């Protein structure tokens, strides 16, 4: 899962999450299916391939630090947020 952070009206790439997924979170991520789009939502194109979605939901991600470029280090998926 690729992440983004907001800077003004733009979305900037903030890294990707490969850990923390299980059967429960896989079912939860089905909420993304109606949000699929053909293009990346980022202000600056990235080299990753994937299935892109409209940036309408927030995910809770635990991480240890951020790089100088603002990318998360050692991220772990905790779930999608319903409170926002």
Q: Under the phi-then-psi rule, with left for phi > 0, alpha for psi from -120 to 50, and beta for the rest, what region is 8?
A: left
In this prediction, residue 84 carries a pLDDT of 60
In order of start, what are the domains of the chain with their CATH numbers?
2-80 (2.40.50.140)
> In the prediction, which pLDDT does 78 show?
94
**What local confidence, expressed as pLDDT, does residue 82 receive?**
80
Q: What region does 75 belong to: left with phi over 0, alpha with psi -120 to 50, or beta?
A: beta
Q: 41 with 55: CB under 8 angstroms?
A: yes
pLDDT on residue 83: 76
20 touches 42 (CB < 8 A): no
Global pTM? 0.81
- In terms of Cα–Cα distance, which of 84, 72, 71 is closest to 20? 72
Q: Which of 82, 65, 35 is nearest to 1 (CA)?
A: 35
Which of the residues in the chain have pLDDT under 70? Answer: 84
Return the structure tokens found at 57: 């939901």
Residue 70 DSSP label: S
């Amino acid at each position: 899962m690729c992440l983004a952070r907001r800077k003004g009206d733009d979305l900037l790439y903030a890294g990707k999450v490969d850990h923390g997924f299980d059967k429960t979170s896989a079912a939860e991520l089905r909420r993304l299916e109606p949000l699929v789009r053909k293009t990346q939502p980022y202000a600056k194109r990235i080299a990753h391939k994937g299935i892109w979605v409209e940036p309408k939901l927030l995910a809770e991600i635990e991480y240890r630090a951020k790089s100088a470029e603002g990318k998360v280090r050692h991220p772990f998926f905790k779930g999608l947020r319903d409170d926002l």
